[in-house]
Amino acid sequence: MAKPYYVKFDMPENLVSPIYESLRVAVETGKVKRGTNEATKAIERGVSKLIIIAEDVEPPEVVAHLPIICEEQGAAYAFVPSKQELGKALGIEVICAAAAILDSGDAQHIIDEVIASITKIKDGKPEAKPEPEAKPEPEAKP
């Protein structure tokens, strides 16, 4: 199945588990808002650390505005493949289209790593590949 039009970049599989884990930890030790409306308010108020958006939302217009306002406000955002798993990670028994981490609690280190990886992906840099060191040019003799 093709990605929805609001998904601005592909999330590597190795980032999805840390995102769910950071949500589980932040729910217990920090502050998390659940749902599209709450996520929208958190972005507009500038209090969100990370916005998580499900990719399988129907209709897609429900969450299509989130990446746009995240870009406008400079908020970090990520995509996860399943609204069902997003709901489970939030500790609720129903689906959830989006969530906002306001206070990361004990998940701060996980969230920092996720945000750094997302920034590399959005900037077009390949993840987990070290940059080759530039060799200094030998000086020309006169």
For residue 37, tell me if it sits in a domain: yes
**What residues have CB less than 8 Å from 51, skipping those under 6 apart?**
39, 42, 43, 66, 70, 75, 76, 77, 78, 98, 99, 100, 101
Enter the pTM of the model: 0.80
Give the CATH number for residue 54: 3.30.1330.30
Residue 133 clears pLDDT 70, i.e. is over it: no
Residue 50 clears pLDDT 80, i.e. is over it: yes
> 51 and 79 in contact (C-beta within 8 Å)?
no
For residue 90, tell me if it sits in a domain: yes
Return the amino acid letter for 92. I
119 vs 125, residue with greater confidence:
119
Q: Give me the domain span that covers residue 56.
A: 13-122
Please give the tally of structural domains in the chain. 1
Closest CA to 22 of 114, 118, 116: 114
> How far apart (Å, rounded) are the C-alpha atoms in residues 5 and 99?
19
Residue 38 clears pLDDT 70, i.e. is over it: yes
Identify the pLDDT of residue 142. Answer: 60
Residue 42 clears pLDDT 70, i.e. is over it: yes
The per-residue pLDDT for range 3-24, each reduced to its tens digit, is 777 777 778 788 899 999 999 9
> How far apart (Å, rounded) are the C-alpha atoms in residues 44 and 23?
20
For residue 77, tell me if it sits in a domain: yes
For residue 127, tell me if it sits in a domain: no
For residue 137, tell me if it sits in a domain: no
For residue 130, tell me if it sits in a domain: no
For residue 128, tell me if it sits in a domain: no
For residue 5, tell me if it sits in a domain: no
The per-residue pLDDT for range 72-105, each reduced to its tens digit, is 999 999 999 999 999 999 999 999 999 999 998 8
Identify the pLDDT of residue 140. Answer: 59
**What residues have CB less than 8 Å from 142, skipping those under 6 apart?**
none
Residue 132 clears pLDDT 50, i.e. is over it: no
